[in-house]
Amino acid sequence: MALRTYAILYLIFLYAPIVLLPIFAFNDGTIIAFPLQGFTTQWFEELWTTTALHDAVGNSIFIAVLTAIFSTLLGMLTARAGAMANFPGKGGIIGFIMLPLVLPEIIVAVSLLVMLRQVLDMDLSNWTVIAAHTLMSTPFSVAILNGAFQSLDPAMEEAAMDLGENRWSAFRLVILPLVMPGIISSMLIAFTISLDEFIIAFFLTGANPTMPVYIWGLLRFPAKLPVVMALGTILVTLSIVLLSMAEYFRRRGLRRAGVEDPGGFI
Amino acid sequence: MAGGLFSTERGRTVALVTPPFIYALLLLALPLGAIILFSFWQKDGYDVVPTFTLENYRAFLDGEVYQVLLGRSLKVSAIVTVITVILAYPIAYFISFRVPNNRKSLWLFLITIPFWTSYLVRVFLWKVILGYNGVINSGLLQIGLIDEPLTFILYSVNSVIITLAHAFAPFAILPIFVALEKIDRSLLEAAQDLGENRVTTFLRVTLPLSMPGLMAAILIVFIPTIGDYVTPELMGGSGGKLIANMIQTQFLQLNNAPLGAALAIIAMLCVTLISLLLIFLNRRWLRV
Amino acid sequence: MTADDRSALIELRAVHKWYGDYHALRGIDLKIRSGEFFSLLGPSGCGKTTLLRTIAGFEPISDGVMYLDGRNVAGVAPNHRPTNMVFQSYAIFPHLSVAENVGFGLRRDKRSKEEKARAVGEALEMVGLAGYGARPSHALSGGQRQRVALARALILKPKVLLLDEPLSALDKKMREQMQVELMKLQREVGITFILVTHDQEEALVMSDRIAVMFEGEIGQLGDPESLYRRPNSARVAEFIGMMNFLPGSVSGTTVEMPGLGRAEVAAEQLTSGSFTGPARIGIRPETLSLLFDGEPDRGRVAPGMVDEVVYYGDMTYYDVRLDGVPEPVRISMKNLIGRPVLDVGTPCRVTWDEQALVVLPAA
């Protein structure tokens, strides 16, 4: 059928660049072009011995972990409020929290740069990147956690309170376990976003570059490109693993809440 | 009865939403305010003096290069949006209407995976595909369709468009898919029962009902593409640079933050106005 | 205090509930006795669920007083009230097993683990789910979920069990079975049950007393038979079963009905109080009767013609046009042996019972 053929062609278009990654990562030649030169693992070995890269990866992981925690906390508050009683202006407030989703990233980057450097005269550091990444990934956390909180029967909390729990213990004993898969999935997504974000990090990074900023530097040196391919291969593998886990937890969460849902992450 | 913020559900909702709202105010509203202020200040050597001036905006009006870059940016964003959305609609339709329910997640998952893999690396790989010795050129040479490598596909606006259309694909598919999923399938049967064929049913029922998703897709692709400087930097060559590159250059290389701020604000205003205009023109479809 | 007051377990005085501009409860006065099976019956939006939720403590009341077991419960949270609830959705915690669900409320109980486990076992046995404790709760059927919800609430030995449309999610057969089981269970444990339902049949079958609610007010309160036989308004009469209304007039206890003639009624048949003048005379379809050959006519006969026939198997419903009566009246007849089913247009004779009349003032 025509539509199905088109869909498969589209998937090929989507995956075309990614399929090339491992091919050149194991290609024994410094030029990233065809024809291929033979098999090697030397680019992966070079990754292993580049200490500057290790520092960048360490920074990025630090930033990504804290971003995941902060944006999931903010996302939980927003998603929970979204599933509760309305008050005048609630839609506007939640819309404002979701705004970074549709703002051009460079606007966010330069306005934060102006405020931090020129207005507050702060030094750029990993923390400035964390603050910006938390802002950017909170809307994604909200979107994921919305599903978890909205599919929750409000009678669950009431039943717990009816059976002798107070509001906090009802949350801890009933709501938290039920939305936990959503929380894990939100943390994984926020972690992945932060780990990969370049445009803002390039503006706000301090003396220690994050991994994408470091890769950006490598892209200018043709001799280093195969190493970037090797690194990219590892990152793609890691992303797929993390995303599969996130999807697994998201679906398990919906199953727990007794919902069949065909939707994706957003 | 005791008042107190936490005694009503409404009070608790306000209390919950306050911390994320304050965070967004501090890190979004305040910086946006700062950058607006900044665009009216003067640059003096390496410093910025808080003296009100319209100089930065005058520089935009006088500087043809800025206008060309902004015009090109808007044009590229518009083309990318149109291409991305047109390519995405059939996919969203296919997943919503043709794929069995238990396989939909898998398809959406397959579509989102490339989006989550390192953006820089993905952009670079398009360079490998479209380049002088790239996949396409060597492939076409090999089968003898061309005698020498095609050059118009790399380092031009074309390559920027292809790369961006790839990068934003899932952003376009998901909102359309969600809108299509919401359509009550019996409406389509009703339309056919009332004498429409498949094509007219699509045009008179499915398409109008999916307009909110279509508009969301258009905006969610159009707005962020204006702010991307990575793709034009790597793929655009000298003729493919966009306004975001200029903003980045003003801030990080020329150290002229006020001018960069003014350019950023002008770019954002243009995007906002165009978006609002689009929403206004399509308002009758969006009340579903 | 009268004896009746002393046994009131729940007392509401002039209770109001506002949601913004919406007046959900409009001055509810109500006493519910200890050990009673009490139903709140009404169409959707009448405030019955709101009333139940104010008793449970999920919604604060806007005005008035509420006593539970002799204590004013203003500001008392649900977890500190002697009530437990069976939710419409059952709210079975999907991340816990059946036994963990049933034992959920025992967390703060000081009893030993073994004693708690025994209590859970007994509660499950009481609702007919002995041996189900280890099962994951998401694998239960609708009827089983309801039993778990019952066991979970009853294990805490509440003074009042609140049931919010507990049978509405079940199919007809299961519903009828659970009605009987709930009545048995209530007699066994002796706890006051308050049931919210929109199903009049369910309320009639199960309750000791019923409050019929309309638009935030109690329309009538009484035992099932008095509600059915002596409704005090047309809307109660029409919400509970079916009733024909004939135009007529009343003077003292003498009723005049065009087409049917004159009848003497008892004072209690003027259910909304005595009056003189134009009246609506209510008569249930089963208290009218077609006269077949050889059946006694009780001295009251009106001629008419069959206008419509609806055949139900065990019953036949006839709409009959009576001479001198503007609208056809509905008559339900049991299809006893030897009784034919009449065709539309057949002339017929109708008799009725004056003790079954309900006399209300004309609108």
Would you call B2 and C74 a contact, using CB atoms and an 8 Å cutoff? Answer: no
Kindly state whether residue B32 falls inside one of the protein's structural domains.
no
Alpha helices (runs of H) in chain A, residue ranges in sequence order: 2-25, 42-49, 51-83, 90-98, 105-113, 126-150, 154-162, 167-170, 176-196, 199-204, 211-218, 225-256
If you average pLDDT over each of A74-78, A112-116, B136-140, C16-20, which comes out highest? A74-78
Would you call A159 and C83 a contact, using CB atoms and an 8 Å cutoff? Answer: no
Kindly state whether residue B192 falls inside one of the protein's structural domains.
yes
Residue A252: per-residue pLDDT: 74
Angle (CA) A47 A50 A53, round 5°: 85
Q: Are A17 and A11 in contact (CB under 8 A)?
A: no
Which residue of A84, A152, A157, A162 to mutate against C (max C Cβ within 10 Å)? A162
Residue pointed to by tokens 């966010």: A108
Kindly state whether residue B20 falls inside one of the protein's structural domains.
no
Residue A164 predicted with pLDDT over 60: yes
Structure tokens at C284: 């249930």
Nearest to A36 by CA among A47, A50, A48, A25: A25
Using a CB-CB cut-off of 8 Å, the residues of chain C touching B2 are 75
Domains and CATH numbers, chain C: 3-234 (3.40.50.300), 242-361 (2.40.50.140)
Kindly state whether residue B178 falls inside one of the protein's structural domains.
yes
Distance from CA of A5 to the nearest CA of B (A): 10
Structure tokens at C216: 């935030």
Residue B1: per-residue pLDDT: 37
Using a CB-CB cut-off of 8 Å, the residues of chain A touching C56 are 158, 162
Residues 152 to 171 of A: which have CB under 8 A from any B CB? none
In this complex, is the C-beta atom of C211 within 8 Å of any C-beta atom belonging to chain A? no
Kindly state whether residue B156 falls inside one of the protein's structural domains.
yes
User: The whole model's pTM is what?
Assistant: 0.81
Structure tokens at C165: 């449309």
Would you call C74 and B1 a contact, using CB atoms and an 8 Å cutoff? Answer: yes
> Looking at residue B150, which CATH number applies to its domain?
1.10.3720.10
Residue C43: per-residue pLDDT: 94
- Chains meeting B at 3+ CB pairs closer than 8 A? A, C
Dump pLDDT digits (tens) for B126-159. Answer: 888 887 777 787 778 878 778 777 777 777 788 8
Distance from CA of A256 to the nearest CA of C (A): 6
Residue A263 predicted with pLDDT over 70: no
Nearest Cβ partner for C84 among A153, A163, A258: A163
In this complex, is the C-beta atom of C18 within 8 Å of any C-beta atom belonging to chain B? no
Using a CB-CB cut-off of 8 Å, the residues of chain C touching A151 are none
Residue C5: per-residue pLDDT: 52
Residue B108 predicted with pLDDT over 90: no
Task: Give the chain A residue whose CA is nearest to the CA of C86.
Answer: A159
Domains and CATH numbers, chain A: 40-256 (1.10.3720.10)
Residue B146: per-residue pLDDT: 80
Distance from CA of C47 to the nearest CA of B (A): 20
Dump pLDDT digits (tens) for C227-270. Answer: 999 999 999 999 998 999 999 999 988 999 888 888 889 988 99
Total H helices, total E strands in chain B? 16, 2
Which residue of C58, C93, C159 to mutate against A (max A Cβ within 10 Å)? C93
Tally of domains within chain B: 1
Angle (CA) B98 B102 B106, round 5°: 85
Distance from CA of B272 to the nearest CA of A (A): 10
Nearest Cβ partner for A34 among B116, B138, B227: B138
Kindly state whether residue B205 falls inside one of the protein's structural domains.
yes
Residue C7: per-residue pLDDT: 67
Residue C148: per-residue pLDDT: 95
Dump pLDDT digits (tens) for A120-158. Answer: 888 888 899 999 999 999 999 998 898 888 888 889 999
Distance from CA of C322 to the nearest CA of B (A): 45
Nearest Cβ partner for A114 among B31, B95, B271: B31
Residue contacts between B and C (CB atoms, under 8 Å): 5
Residue A265 predicted with pLDDT over 60: no
Residue A156: per-residue pLDDT: 92
Using a CB-CB cut-off of 8 Å, the residues of chain C touching B10 are none
Residue B5: per-residue pLDDT: 57
User: To the nearest whole percent, how much of chain B has pLDDT over 90?
Assistant: 17
Residue B51: per-residue pLDDT: 76
Domain coverage including residue B163: 65-285
Mean pLDDT of A197-213: 89
Q: How far is B74 from C142, CA to CA, in rounded Å?
A: 57
User: To the nearest whole percent, how much of chain B has pLDDT over 70?
Assistant: 96
Nearest to A107 by CA among B52, B175, B251, B62: B251
Backbone angles phi, psi at C333, to 5 degrees: -125, 130
In chain C (363 residues long), the average pLDDT of successive 10-residue segments reads 62 92 93 94 94 93 93 89 92 91 90 92 92 88 92 93 91 90 92 94 94 95 94 93 92 88 89 90 92 79 92 93 91 89 91 90 85
Mean pLDDT of B204-213: 89
Q: Are B242 and A212 in contact (CB under 8 A)?
A: no
Residue A6 predicted with pLDDT over 50: yes
